Structure 1
C-alpha cells in the first residue's frame, strides 16, 4: 500500500505506463494506492520513495545470476566468494550492477579498446593535417596557431562510452555502500555517452568482431541497466520512463526453458521448429483480427520405429506447479498444442515450471467419454541447481516424453 502523499503526478504516469504493459497493477483505495507487481521483480526509483519488489518465491542471488547468464548466453559472473551476490531487501538491482562492475574492471585491467578518432583542434605546432580553409578564414593567414585535423587512437569510442553511461546509471540504483564506492572508482576510466538513450541506440547498432568481442558480456549487463523497467530483448520494454531495474521473471523463465529444450533436442538428434507462419495454430473467422496459439518451444524429434519425425510442444510456466495442480486454462492450452502438433493416436505436450528444492516429473492423463484426449508431462526444474545440471536432467527425461 502506498499513501496518496508518496506518489507524485510523474510517479503516477510512470506506474500507469508500467500497468499498460502488464508489469504491475495500480488500484486506488480509500487510504491510498494498492500496487501489485505480479511476476515482475526488482527495484523502482520514484521521486519520493524507492520500491523494492520481491519475487513470488526467492531464488538466491548467486543462482539468479547463473540462470540469467544461462538465458542470455553470457559467461557466468565470478563465484560468490569473489563477489557478493547476496539477495537483499532492495531486490536484484545490485546483482546486475555488480555483474557490470566485474566486467568493466576486467576490461580496464586488460586495457580499454582504442580506435582512430577524428578531431579538429587549434594547435601551436602542426600535427596531422592542416585545415587550410579554417586557417585562411579564421586566422587570416597567421601561423602562430594552426587549425589541424588529427586522427589518433583513443579510448573515447562507442564501445567504451556505453559502459561509462551504464556505470553512471548503476551508481544511482545500487544500495550497498561498497558497491557504490567501487562503481564510482571505475566510472572515471570510461568515457560517457551524452544520454542513456544515445547509449541504447549505440548498443542496438553494435556489431561484434574479433576487435570488440570481449565487450559482449559487459554490453549485455549494460543493456539491462540502461533499459530499466520492462521486458524488451529479454527483460525490458521500449518506451518505459520509470527509473529502476525490473526483471520480468516469466520472460526470463521462457528464455531458460527455450535453451534447455533446444539443448535436449540436439542431444537426441532433434531441433527446434519456428512456431510462426505456416507452423502456427491460427483462429480465423472471429470478430477482429486473426489470433494464434504458439508454444514457447516446438521440438522436432526423430521417431523410434519410423523415419518420420514427430513434433513435441513445450510451454514454460512460471508457476509453482510443484505445490498446486495445473490450472484448467493451462490444460486447455496444452491440449490445443498437442492436438495441433502431435499424432492423433497419442497426443502429448510438456509444461516446464520452476521447482525449488528438486526436479519432478508427473503425467496428467486427460480423458473423455469417447477416449483419451492426450497426456501432459509436467516437468519441474530445480532452480537451486546449476543450469548445466538442469540441462542434463532434461536430456534424460526427453526420451521418456517422446514416443
Structure 2
C-alpha cells in the first residue's frame, strides 16, 4: 500500500485538502464523524475544507493520515497523564514510554504502548484460562461421545468420532478482546519497534471475530478476583477499539475508520469528576447522583420533561451540624475562561444549579476549566435589585501540572459549607 499523505492541524484548526486526497469511502467516514460533532467537512470548488472541533488524535483514511494535535488546554506531553487519570488506568511506566517516540505521533504510540505493557505483563504472569465447550471430529474418544452427531453424520462408522470436550483454554473473551486491540494498535502506531512488539505480543492472544464483537464483550465484562488483573489492559483496549476515548466517538454502524480520536470535552468532564471527588474526600465529602430524586426537572412544557444535571454534585458535611449535609454543584467547562469572561449561558446554567441545590441564604456553584497559564480562582457575584442571586466560583486548573497536584489545589480553594 502506498504511503499516506500526512495532514496536520491543531484542535479547532482547519486545513484545505485537494479533491483527490479523499476517496468516496473517506468522505463517508468523515461525514459520519461530522454528524457526531467531531469535525467539519465542506466541499469547495477545488477540494475539501476540513475543520477540527474539540477532538484530538489520529485518523487513518485510505489516502490520508490525519493528525489533530492538542492546541491549548492540555499540552501534548501531559495528555497521557490526564487521560490515564480520567480513565482510572495506569499510564505506561517512564522506562516504557521512553522506548517510543513522543514526538508528532506520540499520543497514539503511547496509548498503544500502555496496552502493550499491560498485555506483556499478562503474558509473563500467564494468560487466564477457563473451561470452553468444543465439538470436534477426532480419531480417538476424548470427552463425551456425541451420539446424535455420530449416528446422523457418520452413519455408525467409528473411524472418526464426534466428541464434545470441556477443556481449560486461553481462547476466552478476556483474551480475545486484547488480541483484537493489539492488532488494531499495530495499524495505528508509527514507531517500527513498537509495531513489531505489538504484532509479536498479539500472537499470544486469540483474536475476536470482529472489533464490534470485542467491544460487545467488553461491555458485558464483569470483574471478579479471577480476571481483576485484566481491568487496566481492557481499559486501554476499549479506548483503542472504540477509537473515541472516554466516550464512543466513532460510529460502529459500518462507517468506523482506523483511528484513535479523543473528545477533549468528555476527557475534561472525566478529569473534573475525579478531581473534585478526591479534593472533597479529606473533608468528608463525596459524589452523589445528579438525577432521580436529586435532579432539577422542568415540567409543564410542550413535549417531555427536561432536566438540569451538573457534571458533579458533591455532598458536604455542614460545619454547624455533623449529621446534616449540603450540596454543591460543580460543572466542567472545556473553555478558555482564564482569558475570557464566563458566557451568559453558563452563568444562567450555574445560577439554576445554585438555586436548586444550595441553601437559599448562600447559593453557590463551581465552574472548573483548564488553565494552561497556571491555576486561577475568581468569584462571580450575581445580584438583582432585591437581593443577591448567588455566586459562581470559577476555578482554573493548571493543565501543565500533575493531576494529583491539581486535586490538592482544588481542595484548598473549593467553596466549602463553612466558606
- Shift in alpha-carbon separation, 1:369–1:138, aligned structure 2, 3 A: closer
Distance in 1, Cα, partners of 2:88 & 2:300: 41
- Which residue is equivalent to 1:190? 205
Q: CA RMSD in A?
A: 2.4
Residue 406 of structure 2 aligns to a residue in which SS? helix
Query: Is the counterpart of residue 243 in structure 1 residue 258 in structure 2?
Result: yes
TM-score of the pair, normalised by structure 2: 0.88
Q: 2:272 aligns with which of 257, 260, 272?
A: 257
Q: Which of 33, 40, 54 lines up with 1:39 in the alignment? A: 54
2:247/2:266 contact within 8 Å kept: no
Contact 1:19–1:25 (Cα < 8 Å) also in 2: yes
Alpha carbons of structure 1 residues 127 and 31: separation in structure 2 relative to 1, 3 Å: same
Could you tell me how far apart the structure 1 residues matched to 2:207 and 2:310 are?
A: 41
Mapping for residues 7-18 of structure 1, pairs under 5 Å: 7-18=22-33
Q: Indicate the residue corresponding to 1:393 in structure 2.
A: 409
* Map of 2:384 onto structure 1: 368
Judge which range, 309-318 or 324-333, deviates more: 324-333
Tell me which residue corresponds to 1:314: 330
1:69 maps to what in 2?
A: 84
Does the C-alpha gap of structure 1 residues 236 and 375 become closer, same or farther in structure 2, counting only changes over 3 Å? farther
**CA pair 30-370 structure 1, distance change in 2 beyond 3 A:** farther
SS in structure 2 at match of 1:99: helix
In the alignment, structure 1 residue 113 sits paired with structure 2 residue 131: no
- Report what 1:213 is aligned to: 228
> Which residues of 2 match residues 19-58 of structure 1 at below 5 A?
19-57=34-72
8 A Cα contact 1:230 1:237, kept in partner? no
The corresponding residue for 1:95 is 110
Distance 1:82 1:34, change over 3 A: closer
Q: Is 1:163 the equivalent of 2:140?
A: no
1:351 equivalent among 359, 362, 367: 367
Question: Which among 376, 381, 403 is matched to residue 397 of structure 2?
Answer: 381
2:12 alignment counterpart: none
Say if 1:58 and 1:102 are closer, same or farther in 2 by CA, change over 3 A: farther
Q: Give the equivalent residue in structure 1 for 2:345.
A: 329
Deviation at 1:249, TM superposition (A): 0.8
**CA distance in 2: counterparts of 1:114 and 1:165, whole angstroms:** 17
For residues 207 and 227 of structure 1, the distance between their equivalents in structure 2, rounded to whole angstroms, comes to 19
Query: How many angstroms apart in 1 are the aligned matches of 2:329 and 2:418?
Result: 11
Secondary structure at 1:121 match in 2: strand
Deviations 1:261-308, CA, capped at 9 Å, x for gaps? 122223212222222123222333444433322111111212223454
Once residues 99 and 355 of structure 2 are traced to their aligned partners in structure 1, the CA distance between those partners, rounded to angstroms, is 48
Decide whether aligned partners of structure 1 residues 141 and 268 sit closer, same or farther in structure 2, where only a CA change above 3 A counts. same
How many equivalent pairs are there? 402
Q: What per-residue deviation string (whole Å, max 9, x for no partner) do you get for residues 316-350 of structure 1?
A: 01122222222222222212221222222222111
**Counterpart in 1 of 2:288?**
273
8 Å Cα contact 1:43-1:91 kept in structure 2 = no
Q: 1:123 touches 1:145 (CA, 8 Å); kept in 2?
A: yes
Q: Any conservation in 2 of the 1:119–1:150 contact (CA below 8 Å)?
A: yes
Q: 1:207 to 1:261 in 2, by over 3 A?
A: same
User: Conserved in 1, the CA contact under 8 Å of 2:380 and 2:393?
Assistant: yes
Moved more, 326-335 or 170-179: 326-335
CA distance in 2, matches of 1:377, 1:396: 13
C-alpha displacement of 1:372: 2.7
1:232 counterpart SS class: coil
Q: Give the structure 2 partner of residue 297 of structure 1.
A: 312
In structure 2, the gaps of 5 or more residues are 1-15
Structure 1, unpaired ranges of 5+:
none
Instruction: Give the TM-score taking structure 1 as reference length.
Output: 0.91
Matched, 1:180 2:175: no
